[in-house]
Amino acid sequence: MLRVRPIAERDYPALLQIAEDSGHGFTSLPIDETLLKSKIQRSVRSFAKEVKRPGDELYLMVLEERETGEVVGTCAIEAAVGIEDAFYHYRLGKDVHVSPQLGIRREVHTLTLCNDYTGAAELCTLYLKPEWRKGDNGRFLSMCRFLLLAAFPERFGDKVIAEMRGVSDHNGGSPFWQWLEDHFFGIDFPTADYLTGIGDKVFVAELMPRHPIYVDLLSPEAQAVVGEVHETTRPALRLLQSQGFRCQGYVDIFDAGPTVECQREEIKAVRESARLTLQVGEHDGDDRMMVTNADLNNLTIIKARAKVDEQAGVITLSRADADALGCDSGAELWALAMNR
């Protein structure tokens, strides 16, 4: 049985392996022992913290095969980005140049550095080992975060975003960054990606162009990838789009991958998540559900066959599934149908 739970300090070796396996462009998990251990400790503190409004909390979770204890994936939510340090994006815009006398009108697309997403919650750090990318495991790992947004809305920003990995090659080269490197930065994409991952963003403010960039002046290769996603990220993008996330004209400052957004309460899975009372016993129900005990001190999220009586507000689970959640009859759970 698979379960999602908060990361613990014992999971450092598994997290390091995921950081190594995920490759270039996975900014939130750089290969750095100090930083990875700091992320784990920050997450542990966040789950234990009493929160009245979102701040600089990180909720980092792992997908675990319960029988063996193997960690096979990870996902996370940043409660509110940009609280402790600057959170940069490029905003796609348009300049219009008109000369009535000459009868000329030109529309020029621009990229302007901004901090518009400050305070938004961020879905991040999603990775599933290749051998476990089967069935609905990937969907389960990604969607479990919506149960947290539904059960603990006070802990997260009203707007939720996700940065989609942009186009890069197997060596970590980014066509978009290559243009920036040639003209402004002088460091390659993996180095810039790593510096950002370890929290060293000073170079962005120091070296990033101070004025809007005209997209038409980029190299043809760079223009072609603005707003495009890495081929391995397309399934994740499709899932988020099915939940109501849309790109509103913001892209990553390094690889120009799109950022998608949705108001927390408008996310389909958040709207359709339900708070239910547990009843333990054998049942003939065949609802495929994602269920959490909603206990931050001992959080567990599982997939389970269940019988749901929405009118009565009751969910019936087997003894084994209830035990996996650490709950008994009468406990309050949050549940979401897996096919939604």
CA atoms of 121 and 119, how far apart (whole Å): 7
* 63 burial via Cβ count (<10 Å: 0-12, 13-18, 19+): buried
CA atoms of 304 and 318, how far apart (whole Å): 9
Task: Look at residues 31, 12, 30 and name the one whose alpha carbon lies nearest to residue 71.
Answer: 12
Q: What residues are annotated to the active site? A: 230
CB 81 within 8 A of CB 117: yes
DSSP 8-state assignment for residue 166: -
CB 249 within 8 A of CB 111: no
CA atoms of 137 and 158, how far apart (whole Å): 27
- Would you state the structure tokens that stand for residue 60, as one six-digit string? 């980092």
CB 138 within 8 A of CB 235: yes
- Would you state the structure tokens that stand for residue 138, as one six-digit string? 């990937």
Q: Are strands 301-309 and 70-78 parallel, antiparallel or unpaired?
A: unpaired
CB 89 within 8 A of CB 95: no
CA atoms of 33 and 76, how far apart (whole Å): 18
CA atoms of 326 and 108, how far apart (whole Å): 58
CA atoms of 230 and 169, how far apart (whole Å): 9
Beta bridge partners of 309: 314
